[in-house]
A and B are shown apart, each in its own frame.
Chain A
Amino acid sequence: MPPIIDVKDLCKDFRTFRRREGVWGAVQNLFVRDRITVRAVDRVSFSIERGEMVGYIGANGAGKSTTIKMLTGILVPTSGRIIANGFVPYRDRRKYTKELGVVFGQRTQLWWDIAVVESFKLLKEIYEISDHDYRQRLGVFSEILSVKDYLYTPVRKLSLGERMRCDLAAALLHNPPLLFLDEPTIGLDVVAKDHIREFLKEVNRVSRTTVLLTTHDLSDIEELCSRIIIIDRGKTLFDGQLADMKARHARYNQVKFLLKDRSQVGRLGEVTNDGVSCNRLDELTYVMRFDRAKHSTAEVIRSLVNRLEVKDIFVEEEPIEEIVKRIYITGGLSA
């Protein structure tokens, strides 16, 4: 089976105008404008198999939203090729979007002033959903996402978390094989985030829905995606399994420990040496960070328990944020 998304050498340029500074500059701007071309997406290639859940991440302005907008058929690529679900998104927009679910976390596709259920009814007609499927799916969403409570509430009266649940339900009402989520958890509290993640996992498991999601919250990725694509300044920096990324790019391990009592604090200096740093988390909890290439975890722990009286020890991997940050800085070159 061919991949559900196949992207090859995708580029997107935006033309904009350079604005001159100052009053005289503003006057000049009225008559002559300098055109400049900004390349937002630069020769990005990847393919995604049916049923995969892929995290597409990058800093602000990295080009991830632009990519998503080309993948959804909203923007026309400057060059390169996209085949998604058998369609060329911008060219076959109407046929393609019929089998597509999209959620933009910062916007809503629901009608702002009317009850949520009216938007759902509209979608039922747009996507030609049968009565049976409509009732059944609404039933499922009501249960898992508990949207039932707000079906008759206008969208403007919903909280962000409630609205996001309804938007997700709206995007999946026609059971699309392909789902794009652009920052689906932005601004949500922990409980709401968890709700949405569980729901997405369930959808992916039951319907084998392919999901591509962008996010700034890397815990979304850890919870949901086995594969991650990192983009920065329009270029792909990493594309692979999350575990691979950790294996290749994680440089530090962490040992968190709890001292037995205060008397031990003064002796902390004894455990920090070449390549091992120690930071305070609270009164008795500290974390040591060390280069995996220079020290083994066992050796660090041995020296710790030999010198200090320690109550608890936790070994941790380097947080994914740190790894990703390093990939941004080094441009994806392996350490």
Chain B
Amino acid sequence: MTSAPLALPSLPTRNRSAAAQQALVYAEFVRVGFINTLAYRLRYYTGIVTYFIYVSVYYFIWKAIYAHSQRIEGFDFGQILTYIAVGWMIRSFYYNNIDQDLAEQVVEGKLAMDLIKPVNVQAMYLARALGESAFRLILLTLPTVIILFTVYPLRPPRSVVHFLAFFLSSSLSFFIVAGINFAVGTLAIRLKSILGLLRAKYFLLELFSGLLIPISFFPHAFQAAFAYMPFQYISYIPVLIYLGKLNGVFILRALGIQFFWVVALISLGDGMWRWSSRRITIQGG
């Protein structure tokens, strides 16, 4: 399932064995991305603490907000707490640093090393990030889930079906974020220094994805606009599925739109790459 969107940009009309070989190449990038992350194990131990602190901060904030009301925008306190905690749990594996990696490669003049390999650069970045996310799922997400469920009164998923749909949905979140990050990262090729831009994107993504506040808390005009953007499909939609606020055909529709955004964003990144790569200048030597 996970490798299908990956292969999209790189496999137009080839015979099957060549396609299989291609898949194998990118699977190898996933593997190396996974073991490369081992070198940074320590970072993830501290990550567990960081995520716990984030959720705890929001626990106290929302507790204060809910002190005088039972329900806000259809969420009771237990739901909002679960909403925030589950949002951070999935964030711990769907996020990636493709944008920063790409920007760093450009600034340090290392993009040359990506280009001398006979691979689709976008697929390579996505595959490496996928390997890293798979690693984090085990080393960061799992312990975070256990700790948060132990410490806070979080609700379980609405049903097994909801959980499975939620799992699929949050996997697609990875590809949406990866698609956005690669596309934004390619801007570094033309603009060179995009650190400010990346920072802005980071905060925008946290806010518009619904990680900090549910989208239904935004003014209606915003909500209407968000419906046509990919951001709420990163966090808001998967967590609504978890909570059972989306059901039946609406779940399928949400997954369908997510899948559409995955394809659209990966195509956008592919186009951005083509547009930028003719303008590559390698800095330093």
Which residues of A pack against B, CB within 8 Å?
14, 65, 69, 72-76, 90, 93-98, 100, 102, 104, 106-109, 111, 113-114, 118-119, 121-122, 125-128, 154, 182-183
- Is the beta-carbon distance between B28 and A126 smaller than 8 angstroms? yes
Contact with A along B104-124 (1 / 0, CB 8 A): 000001111101111110000
**CB pair B117 A97 closer than 8 Å:** yes
List 15 contacting pairs A-B, 8 Å CB cutoff, sorted by A.
A65-B282, A74-B280, A94-B119, A97-B117, A97-B118, A107-B109, A109-B113, A111-B32, A113-B40, A114-B39, A118-B32, A125-B24, A126-B117, A127-B118, A128-B21
How far is it, in angstroms, between the C-alpha of A76 and the C-alpha of B117 when the chains are bound? 16
Residue of A108, A114, A121 most packed against chain B (CB within 10 A): A114
Contact status B28-A122, CB under 8 Å: yes
Q: Which residues of A contact B38 (CB under 8 A)?
A: 114
Q: Which residues of A contact B125 (CB under 8 A)?
A: none
Give complex CA distance A124, B109 in Å.
25
User: Is B16's CB within 8 Å of the partner chain A?
Assistant: no
B14 within 8 A of A: no
In the bound assembly, the distance between CA atoms of A104 and B110 in angstroms comes to 10
| Closest-CB distance, A119 to chain B (whole angstroms) | 8
Residues on the B chain within 8 Å of A90, using CB: 278
Q: Is A107 within 8 A of B110, CB to CB?
A: yes
Given A107-B110, A108-B113, verify A126-B39 contact (CB < 8 Å).
Answer: no
Known: A114-B36, A125-B25. A14 touches B281 (CB 8 A): yes
* A-B interface, 10 closest residue pairs, ranked by CB to CB distance from nearest: A113-B39, A98-B118, A125-B28, A97-B118, A102-B116, A74-B115, A94-B118, A109-B113, A76-B278, A125-B25
In the complex, B175 has a CB within 8 A of chain A: no
Cross-chain contact A74 with B39 (CB below 8 angstroms): no
Check if B29 is an interface residue, CB within 8 A of chain A.
yes
Q: Does B285 contact A (CB under 8 A)?
A: yes
**In the complex where A107-B110, A114-B36 touch, is A121 in contact with B28 (Cβ < 8 A)?**
yes
Given A74-B112, A114-B39, A154-B39, A65–B118 Cβ distance below 8 Å? no
- What residues of chain A lie closer than 8 Å to B25, measured between beta carbons? 125-126
Residues from chain B with a CB closer than 8 A to the CB of A97 are: 115-118
Count of chain B residues with a beta carbon within 8 Å of a chain A beta carbon: 28
User: 13 extra interchain contacts, Cβ-Cβ under 8 A, other than A104-B285, A107-B113?
Assistant: A72-B115, A74-B111, A74-B280, A74-B282, A76-B278, A97-B115, A97-B116, A104-B113, A107-B112, A114-B38, A122-B28, A122-B31, A182-B285
Contact residues in A for B112 (Cβ distance below 8 Å): 69, 72, 74, 104, 107
Min C-beta distance of A95 to chain B, whole Å: 7
Q: Which residue of B116, B278, B281 contacts A109 across the interface (Cβ within 8 Å)?
A: B116
Partner of A75, one of B40, B120, B280: B280
Question: How far apart are the CA atoms of A282 and B36 in the complex, in Å?
Answer: 54
- B204 at interface (Cβ–Cβ under 8 A)? no
> How close is B59's CB to chain A, nearest CB, in angstroms?
36
